[in-house]
Structure 1
């Protein structure tokens, strides 16, 4: 779905400059920060409240992180869609000015949509759908008629979409207000967010650090509360890495559960490890409400790849998991590739203690053939020898980005070559037969892992195998730009097609999360990441974990994450009483 040429004249640098000027011109003059924070200020989370640009009511609206509460107020006309959309839009634009998280900004179009929804509610007394009046941000892959979908490539500038993708069609029918689009890395296949068109997105908790990627624009925007609910995508961790780095909740659903049709992508035609879309939010209510609304819209009637699988209340009630009482979780303390940093280990210890206090059980998860799964997945990703990336860059003449590191960087390079390159070797164009063998191996690995999971019935004491795995989403919290080298805690789930979530647990505390003694390193990447840890560098960063269920059990995974999240909240409340 890539364009052949761009409609804008000039060399690739001129095209980028023109697009950025157009983006700046789309911001209302009254929403520009008069005194933006200096570049030396790292944490900008509180800038929206300090800016003076948002009224007290707008701050109240945008600080309401429970999506169900927002929807209740919108349905009851306590808050109008116009005022909610304007409030989040102003906050999103503030977030843009301090983190560079947005791509397309279309204020009048979004407010017109919100006004139409308000009129319908006023005249009929009925909301339009389950997402009535709610502004929703979208990763810059989800095509909207009349807007560019740049996707991090210069050649895609100036090529407005002729139609909406299926997801956007459904969002409109559900009553939502798509209102901004968010930044991605060139090629999408990075765990960070930088491209030549829009530049680099930074983490609002510390702008020297990455918000993750490839849904990094969504991560930064939502962390700033510039959107109540966002939609990203994930092929190797692109929902979960930014959610972990930015203190958010997300769902990585199974292959073909939610509609991707019409959205643009990298590596199109690679269908062994499917990219999936999912919600990102500051509450689990946002994750559940979005997922149920999209599934209830019967997306299989519009996207031929979506499974005909309705929302299961039985699944959400954990009918296959003892009704949610006496659950047994497997804790993955170490995946055997990279050992987590101290804050992640503390988060796992906190979660285990909270679950046990809530009457649940936690046992150790024993990793199974992880390196084989890692090698297989990464080899599939580079099976075209990098042709897809080069072809898109050649259309405009822009260079292919080989590193996410800034030109001037105060941090030492911790890793000359990520371990995955040693496993896979240089990208080589593989024959169809060779690719088929990788797919065959992947199926065998999925079967082997499933059997391993089922055998845990011998250790759980519940009469069932473990109900879910809890692990890091990444071995570390947000890192300096260019240093996010490892993604296997997340890629494992994409390769095995395991439904999973990320949930926030705590923040890095330099007084508690002190460096631990060296362990026996798994490989040179494990050693380099161990040496990266510094309490001062990561102080105050969000720490999130991942909950991993089985394939096609999104409802159960959402419910189990709510149980874990509530256990953690109860533990925190108990510690403060």
Structure 2
């Protein structure tokens, strides 16, 4: 019996939301004349203005607080609000700088937001579970300590999906977060609230996590920059998750920002900084030399489903921009296209998702978890028969095979899956990096720019395009490229004639009432992934600079929210 009645469940929700809203109400009313100048420059420029004596940390913070209150009203992206503590930290920074003229560090006075899983002393880390409410952390997460030591000011925490399994940002405690560019679409997950806040200039820098695309999907959906580091580069101690013992495909902590420069400064602060468990590897940020002519591999579809016209256009526009700069771009076919998704599904479902779902308590299960958890919930003979029907009668071997992998497993079967995953990593590196000699790979972030609310109920396998690089542990950056233009991004006869993937998933995406609707998606951002081999995190940052420069001005970065109601 859970220690919550139905009435206490609703009381917890009402109490937490009221507490959040009361603190948000202390924000100044946003004034473009007073606040806008602080929001339209990257974090690195904020520090320069403070060092020059032109701005104060307190003035910068109040501008971001005012904008955060607006962003919350527009997208419901905020959970815990740290304004009182943040204001005191800003005043302290101002007093120390006035007395010494010395910055505390490279992020002096920069307001930073954190995905709700990262502990900040005195505040909850609920990640949307009502039974985790009113359990304030007694210590800061390591990354909170690192950024604060560099002069940053933690001031707000952001919303995540229920159990962090889905890439649709909704949970019973805090509700649904919206895409800042379309309230009919999700902002992504599980770092979706973080991406929405950054896209609306409600934060200067953000911290999220990634186990299957949780940094990259929301970054692309919302039009910001992000880096998924390789495992072992950033400390994760002090983060709270629903399955801390799961290490077969480890989650990583990474930065989200409005420029590549801001990502880089955060990594320079955090790389190599160890926690009390001597993690991660004590390897500080390493400066690397980028070749004058970079060899990029690229593909426009991952073979699970066809990429939409706009996502293909974003990739090809990036390729053409790089070629104009003299770089080499070579198209190749993605090998073992769906094997990573089979392994990921097989490994994560080994216990039937019992551990992840055990934290729900009185919370109703979000509909976005339906397809993710369907396989293990079916009796074996039903699942086998359904797989046979889908493969044989529907003619969709991709989706049919996935059903067979998503099930409960014995410990021996689990070991076999993990062993197959390790062999897949070795084969992947040999067949991709060893055979082609690429400096990096360019790829779509997902098949569509964003999904409508509740779209994850049926489209969760779309995360295949990102989770592949968790399975092989590659560092991956996301750079925003373009926006949906209904006049050029419709489905054409030429596009329809291209080879496809899963019939069932493509029907959900591109059928009569499919999720891909360029008219409804007008203005939604679209990004690309820039993928490196293991331990090449710094090289990927360097190549993100290369790609960003080649693409030129295109309406992304600090201040891009201007004019948005």
Question: Could you tell me the TM-score, scaled by structure 1's length?
Answer: 0.86
Asked whether the equivalents of residues 378 and 420 of structure 1 are also in contact (C-alpha less than 8 Å), the reply is no
Change (3 A) 1:285 1:30: closer
Choose from 224, 238, 245 the match for 1:262.
238
Question: Displacement of 1:527 after TM fit?
Answer: 3.5
Give the drift of 1:301. 5.0
Q: Paired residue for 1:89?
A: 65
The 2-side partners of 1:528 and 1:259 are apart by 39
- Cα deviations across residues 260-299 of structure 1 (Å, max 9, x unaligned)? 011101221111111111111111111111011112xx42
SS in structure 2 of the partner of residue 537 of structure 1: coil
Aligned CA distance change for structure 1 residues 17 and 256 (closer, same or farther; 3 Å): same
Equivalent positions of 1:115-264 (< 5 A) are: 115-264=91-240
Equivalence for 1:302: 276
1:545-565: CA deviation from partner (whole Å, max 9, x where unpaired): 111111111100000111011
Matches within 5 A, 1:11-26: 11-26=8-23
- State which of 348, 352, 355 in structure 1 corresponds to 2:322: 355
Instruction: Specify the alignment match of 2:381 in structure 1.
Output: none
Partners of 1:566 and 1:55 in 2: CA distance: 29
How far apart, in 1, do the equivalents of 2:37 and 2:349 lie?
47
In structure 2, distance between residues paired with 1:124 and 1:5:
53
Q: 1:525 aligns with which of 482, 492, 505?
A: 505
State the shift of 1:152 in Å.
Answer: 1.1
SS at match of 1:250: strand
Which of residues 516, 521, 528 is equivalent to 1:545? 528
- Indicate how the Cα distance of structure 1 residues 426 and 555 shifts in structure 2: closer, same or farther if over 3 A, else same: closer
Give the 3 Å change call, closer, same or farther, for CA 143–277 of structure 1 in structure 2: same
SS of aligned partner of 1:299: coil
SS in 2 for 1:525: helix
Decide whether the 8 Å contact of 1:75 with 1:127 is kept in 2.
yes
Change (3 A) 1:162 1:254: same
Q: Extract unaligned runs of 5+ from structure 1.
A: 32-51, 319-323, 406-414, 458-464, 573-577
Offset at 1:431? 2.5
Out of 399, 412, 420, the residue aligned to residue 364 of structure 2 is 399
Match of 1:337?
Answer: 304
When the two structures are superposed, what TM-score results if normalisation uses the length of structure 2? 0.88
Root-mean-square deviation (Å): 2.4
Q: Which residue in 2 is equivalent to 1:461?
A: none
Report the Cα offset of residue 456 of structure 1.
Answer: 3.6
Candidates 447, 454, 479, aligned match of 2:451: 479
* 1:27 Cα deviation after fit: 1.9
Q: How many matched pairs?
A: 521
Contact kept? 1:259, 1:303, Cα under 8 Å? no
Cα distance change on mapping 1:78 and 1:302 into 2, 3 Å: farther
SS at match of 1:471: strand
CA-CA distance at 1:10 after TM superposition:
4.6
Say yes or no: does 1:435 pair with 2:425.
no
Q: 1:275 to 1:244 in 2, by over 3 A?
A: same
Q: Is the 8 A contact 1:193 1:201 kept in 2?
A: yes
